[in-house]
Chain A
């Protein structure tokens, strides 16, 4: 064999090797090299977060004061709480416990417990892991003043009702009085829910759709969200999450894995503008550009989130979110949840039936308010200002606000 042929074969072999190596090298290069580690990876090399996920235990958002610096409950405490909750749900079948013949009986004070599913009590004493006391940081002075204004307006609309006449819990901090002239005023904020009465109640007025809370308008569901189910589907550089939450008020987001800047500040979105990146096995998402109409715990357009999604084992997806809004809170705070993988075949994630297509509630509440006004004018009914339509208190999250039927972990 000639020396030239050897040279040719040698060069060809090297070229072939280079071509092969390039083929092998391509996948990790394209995937921007997240470390595979122990977590499952997609065929294109990004961490695999796909599937249906939900919480399987319940923890209070904020740590009840009595647990102070304790981060975890003992197994015995959890069993005791589970038994107490089970008793409350069982007792609710007793007709005598209802405040019969009152407005509360027909506006949330009925046996709501049996309509609420309770997850087993989880280990943590709060979803909030930072600050270390497990509590939402104090409001800024500016926000405290704003909320006082909102409360005064909301109480003024409630003051002529039985809620204040009978000194029910929802009227704490206010007094019974005649119908207020403030009923004719535009509310001091677009978002007036969760101000008085607990349970996300709105203002005691139904002049038009805006007076009703977002969930009654099928416009609830906000980010971050700590309940319900999520379906995650990924393709290279895109993570789609559908949130099955809020009785048919589900929604979806597609998080681009992108270093591109956020949308212009003039573009405001209900669920904000998300930009994702991989840090090792963790999907880190920065969310800004929220709308003034969006509402998370009283934060609106200045809300900023940094979310972290990590597979911690085959069945667990840990979701951690740091929440900040310097106009609302004096510091950032962080929530952690463990989401558990659900059966893909059972496919129990529902985009339908959806709230909006069957929203008879909003139309009938408005129609009812108009009928009340006509009846009053005709001398057939009471002054509508004396009837409680919202913010009346009652049950929240399946528990009474006080007494034996209140949440035992409060």
Chain B
């Protein structure tokens, strides 16, 4: 009796081991062989990767898609030493000190890392950069467009259903619907484009068209026309990261299609929540301040805002111990 009981225990253990292996194999096969169980991306009820959640890019692409070194100011002027590399911050950002600099980046552009502008378009890009404050739609809180909205320094939230994927951006409360079903397009060209998605195995592929050509890619003045056609590819690389790759075509501006690629990261704070950034209000002074009866900034000349920086300098003897006061 005792030995028989022991024997059956061993067999039961073996049987359950076999079953658990079978079950594990079934689960792993159903998800993907590339991921360990713990790191497997979540899946929807119909077995697709589930991108629902709050995400954010963590890079410097919003400053400049191309590789660049750090700069002392988002707006600069020639320094006392007349070298290009010795420029200093200019008035619009001077009062912000080191917080107004631009961080460096290895860039997110594929191949040789260069955006293949046509010669005349390259000139416009350079001018855009020189007139960043006047020309960048971001500063006016305009809808940021795609792909720019995907890598701005603000979170966005994905709500993924079977036929629609809704994307809510914090910046300017911009919205995007990726249609996985067949729908009619927009009645006119748009800032955010028309997104038609499909699944290619575990990759969500989105064709984006119907742009109005008024958006930029970044704060460096990289731009496109209304002929822009994007092919985005969203591929899970872990449960908390998506590889985001975009093929960019615009025969009006570029000599050939080019690519950007970057990871998007899940916001892992347990209380993560998308908060509104309704910046049209924040841009009112910037856009309409010169039309006030009594302007807050006193150096408006017609439509030109002339920024005059007033900041009390630290007394010399307190330069290094101001915090002890």
Instruction: List chain A positions with a Cβ less than 8 A from chain B.
Output: 3-4, 7-8, 11-12, 15-16, 19, 27, 42-44, 50, 207-209, 217-219, 231, 233-240, 242, 250-252, 254, 256, 260, 263, 267, 269-271, 344-347, 350-354, 356-357, 362-363, 366-367, 369-370, 373
Q: Are A231 and B293 in contact (CB under 8 A)?
A: no
Q: Are A357 and B278 in contact (CB under 8 A)?
A: no
Q: Are B179 and A252 in contact (CB under 8 A)?
A: no
Q: Are A373 and B293 in contact (CB under 8 A)?
A: yes
Given contacts A207-B294, A363-B287, contact A43 B23 (CB under 8 A): no
**Cβ–Cβ < 8 Å partners of B172 in chain A:** 356
Return the CB mask of B44-59 against A: 1 if under 8 Å, else 0.
Answer: 1110001010000000
A345 contact from B162, B183, B293, Cβ within 8 A = B183
The reply on B16 being an interface residue by CB < 8 A is: yes
Bound-state CA distance A218–B280 (Å) is 8
Shortest CB distance A142–B (Å): 28
**Cβ–Cβ < 8 Å partners of B143 in chain A:** 352, 354, 357
B276 contact from A240, A250, A270, Cβ within 8 A = A270
**Cβ–Cβ < 8 Å partners of B177 in chain A:** 231, 233, 242, 351
Q: Are A350 and B293 in contact (CB under 8 A)?
A: no
Q: How many residues of B contact A (CB 8 A)?
A: 61
**Cβ–Cβ < 8 Å partners of A267 in chain B:** 275
Given contacts A345-B182, A356-B141, A373-B293, contact A43 B278 (CB under 8 A): no
Q: Are B291 and A347 in contact (CB under 8 A)?
A: no
Return the CB mask of B87-101 against A: 1 if under 8 Å, else 0.
Answer: 000000000000000
Bound-state CA distance A254–B185 (Å) is 24
Q: Which residues B91-130 have CB closer than 8 A to chain A?
A: none
Q: Are A19 and B19 in contact (CB under 8 A)?
A: yes
Classify the interface of chain B: helix, strand, loop or mixed: loop
Classify the interface of chain A: helix, strand, loop or mixed: mixed
Q: Are B15 and A269 in contact (CB under 8 A)?
A: no
Choose among A3, A231, A233, A370 the residue with the greatest number of B CB atoms under 10 Å from its CB.
A233
Return the CB mask of B291-308 against A: 1 if under 8 Å, else 0.
Answer: 111100000000000000
User: A-B pairs with the 3 shortest C-beta distances?
Assistant: A43-B45, A366-B291, A233-B166
**Cβ–Cβ < 8 Å partners of A233 in chain B:** 159, 161, 164-166, 177
**Cβ–Cβ < 8 Å partners of B284 in chain A:** 209, 217
Q: Are B168 and A252 in contact (CB under 8 A)?
A: yes
A8 contact from B11, B163, B271, B291, Cβ within 8 A = B11
**Can you give 8 contacting A-B residue pairs, CB < 8 Å?**
A16-B19, A19-B23, A208-B292, A233-B165, A234-B159, A235-B50, A356-B172, A373-B293
Bound-state CA distance A269–B273 (Å) is 13
Bound-state CA distance A234–B281 (Å) is 30
Bound-state CA distance A267–B12 (Å) is 58
